[in-house]
């Protein structure tokens, strides 16, 4: 069978990335330019700056990606692009670029849901992985437990009712004085802290619910820090980071394990930026083993935003003939 080569573009937030993927599973190139250092100064992503930086960089990233793959324009079978969820202006940069390429080369345009991409990151790391399985998506914007029935076919079992888990990590990190994005800093600080130092609340919601709520623990950390300040007691940042992380990971693990047992799946995948969290990775593996479940998570480089994962998801759409017209619009709050 002829190889299918897809060039994928991702610009939904603060990474400009272009990748070339063979048969949905093999990375020929995956060039990522991250704007984190620019947004750090503002404590979070500034949408207008993100769009401008994407415009400045995309040509270069595209050229580099094509060169690294060793391929030519004529080798490409389709152009894939993230069309949501994300920042509208940022999405539009990648989409305009993708449309121009698809039109110029006379090949199909594949519209990819960013969350679908995070899930598909695992196909790049594990060539034999196939649905069905349970997925836990944990990123800066999303916290979902999903029953993955087939490629691109999902049933959402639970989602956050307020903050996304990455958002909670970032907000707590900010109050602890860490730069944006704070998740990795909390992860690092927690390694030197006592996870039993402070008993932050675990919010499980109604019995049997796979939904999440992280606003309670976020407020609880803020209240703790304020009360310590008022009492003039010095706070051990590492202990706060470790105790916060432990509470969040407890809830994530309990829900994802019970979801897989309920749906009778033997395999769990985790995806999204927070899937890079070392405690989540380690503890989920341990807990899953007790229940005879297998856990898959992408390498760190494929956890945070990248175009390779978009190319992997796009391959299964290509096979089903799910293409977009050139009037495709961005959908900033696109659901799965
Ligand atoms: O998937 P992603 O790159 O962007 C979105 O689509 O949102 O996720 C970014 C999120 C940020 O909130 C960041 O703090 C978090 O992932 N993150 C982590 C870690 N690495 C990244 N959170 C906890 N521990 C980490 N090691
Ligand atoms: Zn993402």
Q: Write the pLDDT tens digit of every residue in 120-171.
A: 999 999 999 999 999 999 999 899 999 999 999 999 999 999 999 999 999 9
Q: How far apart are CA 121 and CA 306, in angstroms?
A: 9
Summarize pLDDT for 7-29 with one digit per residue, the tens.
999 999 999 999 999 999 999 99
pLDDT digits (tens, 9 = 90+) for 186-226: 999 999 999 999 999 999 999 999 999 999 999 999 999 99
Please report which ligand is nearest the Cα atom of 182: 1
Share of the chain above pLDDT 90, in %: 97
Q: In what order do the strands lie in the sheet with 109-113?
A: 26-34, 15-22, 5-10, 78-84, 109-113
Closest ligand to 14 CA? Answer: 1
End-to-end Cα spacing for the chain: 31
Taking the CA of residue 166 as reference, the ligand 1 atom at the shortest distance is 12
Residue nearest to atom 8 of ligand 1 (CA): 273
In a mutational test of the pocket of ligand 1, which residue from 90, 139, 187 has the highest number of ligand atoms less than 8 Å from its CB? Answer: 139
Which is the closest atom of ligand 1 to the Cα of 304? 3
Mutate to test the pocket of ligand 1, among 273, 278, 297, 299 (most ligand atoms within 8 A of CB): 273
Q: What is the mean pLDDT of the chain?
A: 96
| Pocket of ligand 1, beta carbon within 6 A | 13, 139-141, 166, 169-170, 181-184, 187, 272-274, 276-277, 304-305
pTM for the full model?
Answer: 0.94
- Residue 121 CA to ligand 2 centre (angstroms): 11
Encoded tokens for 260 = 């897989």
pLDDT digits (tens, 9 = 90+) for 196-207: 999 999 999 999
Report the pLDDT value the prediction gives residue 222, as an integer from 0 to 100. 95
Per-residue model confidence (pLDDT) at position 43: 87
Residue 208 CA to ligand 1 center (angstroms) comes to: 27
CA of 181 to the centre of ligand 2 (A): 13
CA distance 7 to 328: 17
Residue 25 · residue 10 · CB < 8 Å:
no
Question: Per DSSP, which regions of 198-317 are E strands?
Answer: 267-271, 294-296
- Residues found in the chain: 336
Q: Quote the pLDDT of residue 336.
A: 86
How deeply is 96 buried, as exposed, middle or buried, from its count of CB atoms within 10 A (0-12, 13-18, 19+)?
middle
């Amino acid at each position: 069978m002829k190889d299918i080569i897809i060039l994928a573009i991702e610009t939904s937030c603060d990474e400009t990335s272009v990748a070339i993927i063979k048969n949905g599973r093999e990375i020929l190139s995956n060039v990522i330019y991250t704007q984190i250092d620019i947004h750090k100064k503002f404590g979070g992503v500034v949408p207008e700056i993100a769009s401008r930086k994407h415009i400045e960089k995309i040509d270069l990233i595209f050229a580099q990606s094509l060169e690294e793959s060793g391929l030519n324009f004529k080798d490409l079978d389709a152009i894939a692009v993230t069309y949501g969820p994300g920042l509208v202006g940022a999405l539009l940069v990648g989409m305009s670029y993708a449309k121009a390429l698809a039109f110029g080369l006379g090949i199909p345009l594949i519209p990819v849901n960013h969350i679908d991409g995070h899930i598909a990151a695992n196909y790049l790391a594990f060539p034999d992985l196939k649905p069905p399985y349970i997925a836990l998506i944990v990123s800066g914007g999303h916290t979902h437990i999903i029953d993955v029935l087939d490629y691109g076919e999902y049933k959402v079992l639970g989602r956050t009712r307020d903050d996304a888990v990455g958002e909670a990590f970032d907000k707590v990190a900010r109050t602890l004085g860490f730069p944006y994005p704070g998740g990795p800093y909390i992860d690092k600080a927690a390694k030197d802290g006592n996870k039993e130092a402070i008993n932050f609340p675990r919010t499980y919601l109604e019995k049997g619910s796979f939904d999440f709520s992280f606003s309670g623990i976020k407020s609880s950390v803020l209240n703790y820090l304020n009360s310590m300040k008022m009492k003039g007691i010095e706070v051990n940042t590492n202990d706060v980071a470790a105790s916060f992380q432990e509470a969040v990971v407890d809830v994530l693990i309990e829900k994802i394990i019970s979801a897989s047992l309920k749906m009778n799946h033997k395999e769990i995948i985790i995806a999204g930026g927070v899937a890079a969290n070392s405690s989540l990775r380690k503890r989920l593996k341990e807990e899953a083993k007790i229940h005879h479940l297998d856990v898959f998570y992408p390498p760190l480089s494929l956890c945070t935003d990248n175009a390779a994962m978009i190319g992997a998801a796009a391959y299964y759409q290509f096979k089903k003939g799910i293409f977009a017209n050139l009037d495709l619009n961005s959908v900033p709050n696109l659901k799965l």
